Structure 1
Amino acid sequence: MIRLITGCILICTISRAQSPAGLVNPFIGASTSAGAAGIYHGLGKTFPGATTPYGMVQVSPNTITGGDNGSGYSYEHTSIEGFAFTQMSGIGWNGDLGNFLVMPFTGPLKTKAGKQGTHGEGYRSDYLKSSEKAAAGYYSVLLSGYNIKAEMTAAPHSGMLRFTFPAGRQSGIQIDLARRVGGTSTRQYVKVLNDSTITGWMKCTPDGGGWGNGDGHADYTVYFYAVFSKPLRNYGVWSADIPDSWTRKLEDVESDRYQQQIGKAEILKGIKEKEGKHLGFFTGFDTKEGEQVQMKAGISFVSMDGAAHNLQQEIRNWDFDAVRNKAHDQWNRELARIKVSGGTTEEKKVFYTALYHTMIDPRIIQDADGKYMGGDGKVHTSSTFNKRTIFSGWDVFRSQMPLQTLIHPSLINDLINSLITLAKEKKKDYLERWELLNAYSGCMLGNPAVSVITDAYAKGIRNYNVPEAYRLSVNSQEKFGNGTLGYTPGDLSLSYTLEYAYTDWCVSRMAQWLHHPEDEKKYARRGENYKNVFDTEKGWFRPRDKEGKWLPWPDSGRMQPWYGTMESNPYQQGWFVPQDVDGMVALMGGKQKVISDLEHFFEQAPENMMWNDYYNHANEPVHHVPFLFNRLGQPWLTQKWTRAICRRAYHDKVEGLVGNEDVGQMSAWYVLAAIGLHPVCPGDTRQEITSPVFDKIQMGKFTIKTINNSAENIYIQSARLNGKPYSKCHIDFRDVAKGGVLELVMGPTPNQQWGINN
C-alpha cells in the first residue's frame, strides 16, 4: 500500500511538472539590467510573483522602488524590500503599481526600506538566492536577513502570504502603504476593524510620480481589506511628516532628505484609524520556531467594501495550498488553449512561459460583483463585458492582440468595449494608444486601438458598439494623423508617418465594410502617405520638416538611431508598410533588391539577437519583418529566420527575453512563430505560414501537424489542408477558425517550389 501511494505521488508529481502550468518558469525575463542587455532599455522586465490569468492581483517580490524598473524586481538584486499586491509586466518608463507592500520582520520596527547594497538601515532583507522558487500561481523565498520563509499565492482579486518564522519575541508583519514602484502614493488611510482585520486605501496621483514619473497621468486609488491569522495585539501605524512644500515625484522620493524623513516617522502604537501622507501599518507578535503566520487580502480599485467582498468571494479560509492549487488549475485551463507536443523540454518551457506572459494583460479591473471605477471617477457596473486595463497599444497590436483573436476572442471584445466606454466616460472623442487604469497616458505613438478594432471586425469579432468604434477610429486618425501635409513632420517623422498611414488604411477597410464609400476612398488614399517620406535620391525613407524639406542626411544614413524614428533607425522602421507591401517593394527598387537587402538585414544581426542596428528583435517595429519573405516569393527564408529567432532570442533563463516583454508582445511573437502562424498586417485576415517549432499544435478545432520536424529539418517541403494538397504559404483566419488540419512535411533544405504562388 505504501509503495502504491508513493508511486502515485511520484506519477502525479511528474504529471504536474509536465502540465502546461508546470512548464512555466516565471523567472524568464525577470531582469531590468541595462548592463546585461547592453542597452538602457534593459531585458524582459517581467515579475516572478504569483498571479492568475488576467488577474487583478499579482503578489510578487519587489527589490527596487526607483529608476526604470517597472516590474519592481530584478533577478540580480540581492535584497527584497517587500511583497506587493499589484505589478506591471515588462514595461519601461519608470512603471507604476507595486502597491500594498507587505514585509515580515524580526527585531525592531523600521519605517523605511533602505537602499540596495545597504544592510540593516531599513526593513529590506537579503535573501538566499538558491531558495527562490517561482511557478504559475506561486512564489517563495528565504529572507536570510530575518530567517523567514515567505510564500505567496493569488486569486483573481486577492492574494495570500504565508510566513514561516524563527522563534522570537520581536516578530511581525508590516505594510508600507505609501510604496509605489515609480514614486509614492500621495495619501493613505488605514482602519483596524477587529482583532484580525484592517482596511483602507492608497491614493496614487501624478504628483506622486508613477507611470512616466507622472507624465503618464496615472490617477487611481487602491483599496484593501486584509486579514491576519494571528490576532492583532501589538499593532500600530507609522506616519512620516511630509511637508506640504515638498514635491513628491520619483527623484524627490529617492532623495536622502525624503528617505531620512521616512526613517524618523512617528510610530503610533495601538491607533485604530489614521489618514496621512506617508503611512505604514505593523503588527507584532511572539513566534515559536517554525510557526506559520498568514495574511490574506482583497484588492479593489472601487471601494473598501469591494475589496472585502473580493476576498470573501475568493479566499474564505486559511488553506494556503488550496488557493495555490486552484491558481495552478486556472493556469492549466487557460494555457490549454494551445496544446503542443514534440520539441525539446526547453522549447516547451519557453513556449508555455511565453503563453503565460501573454495572459497577464489586459487584466480585469472590475470587482467580483462587476463594479469598476470609470474614467469619470464614478462607479459603473459591467454586465455585458469584463472591464480590462493596461493596453500597451504600440507594442501589442502586432502579435499579442492577433494571438488573442485566435485563442481568446472574448478578451478582444472586452478590450474594445473597455476602450470605447472609457472614451465616453472621459469625454474624449478618440481612442487612447496606451491605457493604464483609466489614464489616457499618451505613451508612444500611432493609433494602435484602430488596428485592434479593424483586425477584430475583419475576423468576425464584433460584440461591441461597432458604429461607435468606427467613429472613434475616424476621430483618432483626424486628431493624430498625417493630416493635410500627407506626412507628419519633425524628429520622429518616419515612425509617425508610417504608423498613421497604416491605421488610415485600417479605417478605409472599416469604411468599406460599413458602407461609407467616401471615407473608404479618403483613407485609402491616406494609406499611401508612406510614399511621401521616401527619398528616391537616397533610396530610402527620410524624415521631413513642416516645410517639406528633408532633414539633413546623417553620415551613417539609414543606420542612424533616432533619425526620424522612435527607438529604432530608418533601416528598421522603413519596413513598416504592412498594408501595401507591393507598393513598398516597388519604391525600394523591386523584389530582388529588397530580398537582398532583407537578407543583409538579418545576417548582420548578432548571434544572441540582443539590441542592434539591424534586425532588432528586442524592439517591436521589426516584428513583422521575418514574414515579409512570404510576400516576396521566398517563403523558405521566412522559415529559416523565424526558426533562427525562436532558437537564438528565447531561452529558459532569466536572460531568456532579449528585450522588454512589453505587456505580452515579445512572448506573443514567439507563440505565433512557434506554432507556425503570424500576420504581416493586422486588419487583413491573411496569416503567414512558417516553420513550426513543434510536431503537433492543437488550437481549438484547428490542428497543425509536422512530419520529420527537427532542429535541422526546418524547411517546409509540402503541405496538405484537410487532406488536400496545399500550395500557399499563407492561410486565411477564417479557415483556422472553422477548424481543420494543416499538415506540413519538413526537410533540411528549402523546397523553392512550395508556397511561391500567392
Structure 2
Amino acid sequence: MTQKITSCILVFFGFWLSCCSNPKEPEFLPAQYVNPFIGASTSVGAAGVYHGLGKTFPGATTPYGMVQVSPNTITGGDNGSGYSDEHQTIEGFAFTQMSGVGWFGDLGNFLVMPTTGKLKTVAGKEDGNIAGYRSHYSKETEIAQAGYYAVNLSDYNIKVETTAAPHSGMIRFTFPQNKESRIQIDLARRVGGTSTKQYVRKADSHSIQGWMRCTPEGGGWGDGEGNADYTVYFYARFSKPLDNYGFWSADIKADWSRKRDDVVAIPYLKKVDEADIIVGQTQLEGKHLGFFSEFETQTDEVVTLQVGISFVDMEGAEKNFKRELAGKEFDAVKAEATSLWNQELSRIKIQGGTEEQKTIFYTALYHTMIDPRSFTDVDGRYIGGDKQIHKSTGFTKRTIFSGWDVFRSQFPLQTIINPRLVSDQLNSLITLADESGKGYYERWELLNAYSGCMIGNPALSVLADAYVKGIRDYDLEKAYQYAVQTSKKFGNDKLGYTGPPFSISNTLEYAYTDWCIAQLAEGLGKKQEAALFRQKGQAYHHIFDQEKGWFRPRTNDGSWEAWPEQGRTKEWYGAIESNPYQQGWFVPHDIPGMIALMGGRDKTLADLTNFFEKTPEHMRWNDYYNHANEPVHLVPFLFNHLDAAWMTQKWTRHICETAYKNSVEGIVGNEDVGQMSAWYVLAAAGIHPSCPGSTRYEITSPLFDEVTFKTDPKYFSGKPFTIKAHNNTAENIYIQKALLNGKPHDKCYLDFQEMVSGGKLELFMGKEPNPEWGVQKKI
C-alpha cells in the first residue's frame, strides 16, 4: 500500500512539474537555413549580361573569418569567387576567397588537391586541351552548409570535406585503396593570375610552412590594376607523415606576363606541365612552385590537412594554427564553425514566412557576415599600409571594404546589429590612411591596397552614418580631417561639379558625401565648416538640365555632353554601370530639393512610377529599376517621401520575391561583398534607410510575421526591437495602420534611436493600399 501511494505521489509530482514549470524553448539554430550555393555562379550566359550573377563561393568559412576553404573550378576570366556552378571540374580547394566581387578577382591562394596515380603539375583545362590534375565531380554529392562543404571527386574516387576556423582551415580526405595517393598544393595559384614568388620548407615530420608573394605583376585584383600587393603565409600539418614528399618548379620566363588570361593560355600551361620534380631537399624558393606528399592508402582511409593562414609572417600562421586547430578532430572544428554561425545569425530572429523565404533570408544574412573580414592574427598583429607589422589596440583590423556598394545597405544593417564591426571598419580605414601616409580614405580597399575601384567617397557615408547613430569609438578629429582631405582630393571643388567620364555619377555622389561631412562637422561643433559642406552638398543643381528635365553630364568647359538618341536610358552616358535615369534619383541627402528640381511631387511621382512599371519581370540587368546593380538600391524608398508609402510597400515586396531565390541563380546581380544580401535582409524585415548619414529608416512591407533585432548593450540599450506584422500574407502586402510601443504611429519611417532603444513596431496588413497611412502632415 505504501509503495502504491509513493508511486502515485511521484506520478502526480511529475505531472505537476510538466504542467507548472516553464520548459526550455528549443534552441534557435538559424545556420540550418543557410544555403551557400545561392549566388554561386559567375555565368554571363545565365545572367544575360557581362556582369554575371552572384559570384559567391560555396565553401566553408566562419563569420568575418580570414580563411575560406572552398572548391575552385576556374582560375582566369571574370571569376572572382573561383567557382561557378556550371563548371564540371574542380581544380582544387583554396584557403582564401573573395565573395561576390564584380571586378577581376583575387585570392584563391594555397590550392590543395588530392590525387592518385601519376603526379601532374598543372591543373589543366576543363575542355581537355591540356590534361591535368583537375577532376570531374558529382553534383549530387555536393553539400554546402554554414562552415562545411563536401564533394566527391569522381576521377579519383576521393571524398573531400572542408571546414574552417577564423584564421585557419581543415580538409578531410577519404581515399580509395591506392599505392600512389597524394596531397598536392599549388603555391603559385591565384584567382585571376598567379603569385610571383613562393617559398616552402619542411618544418617537421608532418608539417610544412612558407609564403606566397602576390603583386600586381601577377594579376589578381582588377588584373593588376587594383594594386593588390600582399603575402600569404601558411603553416600546414598533414596527418600522414612526410616520408615521401617533393616539390615542382616551373621555369617561367622572366619576360612572360603572368596575369589572368596569360596563366590559362596554352603556352603557360605547357610550361607548368613540364615543371621539374625536385626531391631530396627540405626547402625551396622559386617563381612557380608546388609541393606534394605521397603515401599508400587503404579503402576509405581518412587523411587530414590542417592549415593556419596569416598575412603577417610564418610565425603568425603557426600561432593561428596552434590556437585554433592543434589537436582537434575535423568534426570538432566543424561543430565550432557551426556554433559561431548560429551565434552571429541569431542577431536577427524571424517568425513566419515559408521555408524558402527563411532559407533566402538567413543565407542573405550569412553573406553579409563574410566581409569586412579579420586581417588581424590571434595575437593582434597585422600588416599596415606601410608594410610594417602593427598591433591593433581596442579594435580588430579588417579588410575588403567594397565601399561603393556597401554604404547603401550593408553598413546601415550593421549599425543596428553589429556596431562593433562598423567601429572596426572605421578604425581600419583611419589607420590605413595614417600608416600609408596617404591621408585620405580609400573607396575600395583590399589587403591595404588603394585600388581606386569605382567612384565616389563611400567611406564618408559610413563615417557619418556611424557618427549620427552614436558609434564613435575612434579618433573623431583624425577621422574628420581625413574626410575633409578625401573630399579635397576627390570632389566637386574645381568646377562645382565633376566632368567626364562619369559626370552625373561623380557629381551626385560627391555632393552626397560632402553633405555627410557636414553632418560630422555639425556634431563636432564646427559650424562654419558644416555650412560650407552643406552648401557643397547642393552641387547636384549644376548638372540638372531644365530643358531635358533631368540630370545631364557636363564637360569641363561647362557645356553639356551631346544628348544621345536613347536619352536618359543610355548606359554609361555620364553614369558608371548605369544610365542617367537610374543614377539621377541619387540625391538622398536633399530629397525635397530633388523633387522640386524635377517639377514637384506629382510629376516626380509619375516619373518614378513609370521607372518601376517599365522594369522587366525577371528583374535582371535592364534600363529601368536595375536591382542587379547598386545605383538604384535606395530608389524604392523614395515613394515614402512622395506621400505614396504604399508604393514603397508594393515594390519592395516585389523585389524581394522576384530578385532573390533559393537557387544558384538566386541573386540577380553580383553579391558585391554583402550589399545585395543586406538590401534583402533589411527590406524583408520591413525597414531600410533612404539616406545613410541620417537616422531615418523607412518602413515598408515585411515578408515575415515577426522580426526581432538584438541590440548591443555596449552601444545601445541591449533591448530587442521587434517588427510584428499582423494578418501578414502573400496577398496582404499593404500597411493599414501601425503602432509603436502600443501607440499609433502614422509616420512611414522610424528614427534609429527608436529601434535601438528596444520595443515593438506593429504593422496591420491588408490586401488594398491605404494611401493615407504615412502621408506627411502639411503644416
Q: TM-score range by the shorter chain?
A: over 0.9
After TM superposition, the structure 1 = structure 2 runs for residues 197-596 of structure 1, keeping only pairs within 5 Å, are 197-596=207-606
Tell me, in whole angstroms, the C-alpha distance in 1 between the residues paired with 2:435 and 2:160: 41
Distance 1:488 1:541 in 2: 13
String of CA shifts for 1:609-657, please: whole Å, max 9, x gaps: 1110000000000000000000111100000000000000001000100
Query: Which letter maps to 2:135?
Result: S
Aligned amino acid, residue 756 of structure 1: V
2:697 is equivalent to residue 687 of structure 1: yes
Kindly state the Cα deviation for residue 222 of structure 1 after the two structures are TM-superposed. 0.2
| Equivalent-residue separation in structure 1 for 2:372 and 2:380 (angstroms) | 16
* Alignment pair present for 1:740 and 2:759: yes
Q: Per-residue displacement from partner, 1:59-118 (whole Å, max 9, x unpaired)? A: 000000001000000011000000000000000221000000000001111111101222
Aligned to 1:750: 769
Question: Could you give the per-residue CA deviations for residues 677-713 of structure 1, whole angstroms, max 9, x where no partner exists?
Answer: 1001000100000011100111021111111001000
Q: Give me the identity figure in percent.
A: 64
Question: Counterparts of 1:107 and 1:588 in 2: how far apart (Å)?
Answer: 70
| C-alpha distance in structure 1 between counterparts of 2:104 and 2:557, whole Å | 36
Task: State whether structure 2 residue 166 is matched by structure 1 residue 156.
Answer: yes
Normalised to the residue count of structure 1, the TM-score between the two structures is: 0.97
Q: Who wins on radius of gyration, i.e. which is larger?
A: 2
Which whole-Å CA distance do the structure 2 matches of 1:31 and 1:214 have between them? 23
Aligned residues: 744
Is the contact between residue 470 and residue 510 of structure 1 (CA under 8 Å) also seen in structure 2? yes
Residue 269 of structure 1 aligns with an amino acid whose one-letter code is V
One-letter code aligned to 1:520: A
The AA in structure 2 aligned to 1:111 is T
| Local SS of the residue matching 1:528 | helix
Q: CA deviation at 1:599?
A: 1.1
The structure-2 alpha-carbon separation of the partners of 1:17 and 1:86, relative to structure 1 and needing over 3 Å to count, comes to farther
Q: Which residue identity does 1:100 align to in structure 2?
A: F
Give the counterpart letter for 2:747 in structure 1: K
Offset at residue 256 of structure 1 (A): 1.6
Task: For structure 2, list consecutive stretches of 5 or more residues without a partner in the other structure.
Answer: 1-24, 711-719
Q: Structure 2: how far apart are the matches of 1:278 and 1:584? A: 56
Partner Cα distance (2:264, 2:359) in 1 = 38
Q: Report the CA distance between 1:18 and its aligned residue.
A: 7.8
Q: Give the AA of the match of 1:64.
A: I
RMSD: 1.1
Which residue among 699, 702, 706 is the counterpart of 2:725? 706
Question: How far is 1:491 from its partner?
Answer: 2.1
> In the aligned structure 2, how far is the partner of 1:696 from the partner of 1:252?
52
Q: Distance in 1 between matches of 2:255 and 2:408?
A: 45
State whether residues 130 and 269 of structure 2, in contact with CA within 8 Å, keep that contact through their aligned partners in structure 1: no
Q: Aligned equivalents of 1:484 and 1:268: distance in 2?
A: 60
Distance 2:618 2:351 in 1: 26
Distance 2:263 2:269 in 1: 7
Match of 1:182 in 2: 192
Deviation at 1:484, TM superposition (A): 2.9
**One of 744, 747, 750 as aligned partner of 1:731:** 750
Distance verdict in 2 for CA 1:112–1:18, change over 3 Å = farther
Matched, 1:70 2:80: yes
Contact preservation (8 Å) 1:399, 1:665? yes
| Secondary structure, aligned partner of 1:527 | helix
Q: Which amino acid aligns with 2:543?
A: V
User: 2:130 touches 2:266 (CA, 8 Å); kept in 1?
Assistant: no
Alignment of 1:3-14 (within 5 A): none
CA contact (8 A) 2:206 2:239 kept: yes
More deviation, 683-692/244-253: 244-253
Q: What one-letter code is carried by the residue in structure 1 that aligns with 2:653?
A: R
**Runs ≥4 residues deviating over 4 A:** 15-18
Mapping 1:107-146, distance limit 5 Å: 107-118=117-128, 121-146=131-156
Structure 1 distance, partners of 2:104, 2:581, is 28
The structure 2 residue matched to 1:59, chosen from 69, 77, 85, is 69
Residues 179-216 of structure 1 show CA distances to partners (whole Å, capped at 9, x for unaligned) of 00010000000000121000000000011001001110
SS in 2 for 1:250: coil
Cα pair 2:191 2:260 within 8 Å, conserved:
no
TM-score, with length taken from structure 2: 0.95
Residue correspondence of structure 1 range 623-642 to structure 2 within 5 A: 623-642=633-652
Deviations 1:131-186 (A, max 9, x none): 11100000000000111000000000000000011111111000000000010000
Secondary structure of the structure 1 residue equivalent to 2:589: helix
